[in-house]
Chain A
Amino acid sequence: MPADIGSHGAHAARPDELSGQAAPQRLAQAALRDLPWEVGVAKPDPAIVVDGVTRTFGGLTAVSVDHLEIQRGGITGLIGPNGAGKTTLFNLLTGFDQPNTGTWSFDGRPLGKLSPHQVARLGVVRTFQLTKALSRLTVLQNMLLGAQGQRGESFARALLPGTWRAQEKANTERAMELLRRFKLDAKKDDFAGILSGGQRKLLEMARALMSEPKVVMLDEPMAGVNPALTQSLLGHVKDLREEGMTVIFVEHDMDVVRDISDWVVVMAAGQVIAEGPPESISQNKAVVDAYLGAHHDAPLTVEDEDRMLAEDEAALAEERRGRHSADTTDGKRTTR
């Protein structure tokens, strides 16, 4: 049954058709419930399909994903230690970077060789890890920039205000609506440059929504945001799902990931090492190893051969661990 619901696509589903379900908005979660927790598993209704994408920088393989499908209408969390290739994968999917090999598609349309603006026009819109508020534009201008298909954005028609004024008015109304939702409406005439870090995150998300996207890719939307604002950001992300959008987000905070994701993809050293519903991830051995080091719970006394192996792997893990080092000092075996 879940597969059936999924195949309609969440875009088409109306709440009244689903009256029997407890949480109608979590369609994707239901659709994904019976899937095996294995890497590269086929989703009932994939929006984005990635095949054999690799990206190397010199000798370093930043991304090497064999097969990955993202369920439509769901929130997919992308996690992994620092340097795992999450942002690089984002860049590849949105055309900001070109891979060495591989294909990927959105709604069955291949996205390879498309430039960033073409990808965005198809409805795949991203935000950035380092927020890109357009400082010397007002908040409202930031929002209006997000609107698609603006007639006044062509040079010739820009000179004839009559051709775009009505559209501009409609866009402004929609922008104000979104700003109210994100509680930024009081700041509409302020320069975006004077907003706080958290408000910039909100603005960037709101601006992305102005383009009426089908897929929203959020790169660390909660980074550097205070806990109260995190809650409201979380609420907004959940709203996106209820509106039928597909959300992919990178996040380090596991509580956040558990709270809102329908499906979690774990990357480490450029590869997808695990995927499954959020509750499956903390039990997954590959994930624990990637974050904490492979032998974090091994006994202290081992034979020499074992120790040499462990030393090598601990050194590797050290490179991958990044900011989680503080959590691991207790469990890590003392190798040096």
Chain B
Amino acid sequence: MSELINAFAIAGKAALGFQAIFFALLAIGINVHFGYTGLLNFGQIAFAMLGGFGIAISVSQWGLPFWVGVLVGVAAAVVLALLLGLPTLRLRADYLAIVTIATAEGLRLVFRSVSATPVTGGTRGLSAFNRDFIDLAPWDTGRRYDILGTSWSGGELWVAAVGWLLVILFSLLVWQLMRSPWGRVLKAIREDEDAVRALGKNVYAYKLQALVLGGVFGAFGGMVYAVNTGSANPDQYQNPNTFLAYAALILGGAARVLGPVIGSMLLLFILQFADTGLRALISNGVIPDELLTSTDVAQIRFVLVGLGLILLLVFRPQGIFGDRREVMLDAR
């Protein structure tokens, strides 16, 4: 029993920790792209990498202040969005999908290549760039704090606090934008571009704006990740993260303001709960060794999440917050 409570507490920490914030910010961006505008961005992680490395390179390589690093990260994300969007957004949706996934993987390989090592640190990455930020914490970051049976370092707590503040801020921003006429145009583009063109809206410009906005959200996700871990390594920013963020978005409900946020928390909770729970059951001997060993747990938990998603799509295709009527329209 105490193990179950323990697993709950650890999973709860994961649901509130920096990884949940990371996925929430990625998913908020994807929600703007995919949920509201219908853009298939499969390279959201590239924006996160530019955000993280924007700070890391600016601070530890160029010696610039932390906040300048943040600006560099945002600017890099904007430039990437424009580079990806300008040639592809006039074409059908599939082109953006192909270009983004290729760019994300390509950019990671460039960042970890030997020739880029003087700037990005190559496979070893960069570190020691988050001091200025951690020092801003209003509490002592040197000691650990116990909250509801879990232990947080002061720095972790500070990053989580600022990270959730960002999540709330961006959610409010999305909420306000999507109830405005601007958001209405985005949703209409998702439904049918040509109809929107025929009504005098510059579809291309709106799609670019949406791509830039969602990309900047993704960049902030990468910053939270890099600042919390205190290091930026190209291999942290692998493509599967984009798809986990998509999973979080669909879990929570696409085209809903809170969908990506609750989806990410839930995703991290389930992953961590399965992990801790299964390990406890194995060490107790409840699950015999022949069936499952603790080394399998890391993989099995993703299988469980996958199963959960399948069940969700069968019984609640709209996600947690979605509107079933809306999803069923496509089935007609």
Partners in one complex: yes
Known: A137-B184, A141-B184, A191-B326. A117 touches B200 (CB 8 A): yes
In the complex, residue of chain B having the shortest beta-carbon distance to the beta carbon of A163: B180
Min distance, Cβ B124 to any Cβ of chain A, angstroms: 40
A134 and B209 within 8 A (CB): no
* Identity of the chain B residue whose Cβ is nearest the Cβ of A141 in the assembled complex: B184
Q: Please tell me which one of the listed residues B182, B325, B332 contacts residue A158 in the complex, with CB atoms under 8 A apart.
A: B182
Q: Report the stretch among A42-50, A100-108, A145-153, A318-326 that lies at the interface.
A: A145-153
Please state if A153 and B181 are interface contacts (CB–CB under 8 Å).
yes
How many residues on chain A are close to B (CB under 8 Å)?
42
**Cβ contacts B164-200/A at 8 Å (1 or 0 each):** 0000000001001100111111011011101111111
A120 touches B198 (CB 8 A): yes
Asked if A134 contacts B200 (CB within 8 A), the reply is no
A118 to B201, CA, bound (A): 8
Q: How many of chain B's residues touch chain A, expressed as a range?
A: 20 to 34
Q: Check if B194 sits within 8 Å of A132, measured CB to CB.
A: yes
Closest A residue by C-beta to B325: A191
How far, in Å, is A330 (CB) from chain B's closest CB? 41
Does B28 touch A at the CB level, under 8 Å? no
**Is B1 located at the chain interface by the 8 A CB criterion?**
no
Pair B181/A150 contact, Cβ less than 8 Å: yes
Contact B197 A96 (CB under 8 A): yes
List residues of chain B with CB within 8 A of the CB of A164.
180-181
* In the bound complex, CA of A164 to CA of B197 (Å): 22
Contacts of B187 in A (CB 8 A): 134, 136-137, 141
User: Taking A132-B192, A132-B194, A136-B326 as contacts, is the C-beta distance between A158 and B202 under 8 angstroms?
Assistant: no
Whether B257 is near chain A, meaning CB under 8 Å from some CB there, is: no
Given A96-B197, A191-B325 in contact, is the A159-B177 Cβ separation under 8 Å?
A: yes
Residues of A262-312 at the interface with B, using a CB-CB cut-off of 8 Å, are none
Query: CB-nearest residue of chain B relative to A126?
Result: B198
The one of B182, B198, B200, B329 in contact with A136, judged by C-beta atoms closer than 8 angstroms, is: B329
Q: Is the CB of A158 within 8 A of B326?
A: no
Q: Mask for A79-94, Cβ within 8 A of B = 1, else 0?
A: 0000000000000001
A120 and B181: CB pair below 8 A? Answer: no
Query: In chain A, what residue has the closest Cβ to B332?
Result: A193
B203 at the interface (CB under 8 A from A): yes
User: A118 to B185, alpha carbons, bound, how many Å?
Assistant: 16
Closest to B173 in A: A159
CB–CB A152/B202 < 8 A: no
Q: How far apart sit A115 and B197, CA to CA, in the bound complex (Å)?
A: 9
CB distance from A299 to the nearest CB of B (A): 50
Q: Is the CB of A158 within 8 A of B180?
A: yes
Nearest residue, chain B, Cβ from A156: B182
Question: Which of B184, B194, B202 has the most A CB atoms < 10 Å from its CB?
Answer: B184
Contact B188 A137 (CB under 8 A): yes
* A154 touching B182 in the complex, CB below 8 Å, given contacts A121-B200, A211-B200: yes
Bound together, the chains give a CA A144 to CA B173 distance in angstroms of 22
- What CA separation (Å) do A151 and B181 show in the bound complex? 8
Residue ranges of B at the interface with A (Cβ–Cβ < 8 Å)? 173, 176-177, 180-185, 187-188, 190-192, 194-203, 209, 213, 325-326, 329-330, 332
- A interface residues, Cβ below 8 angstroms from B: 94, 96, 115-118, 120-121, 125-128, 132, 134-137, 141-142, 144-146, 148, 150-155, 158-159, 161, 164, 168, 191, 193-194, 204, 207-208, 210-211
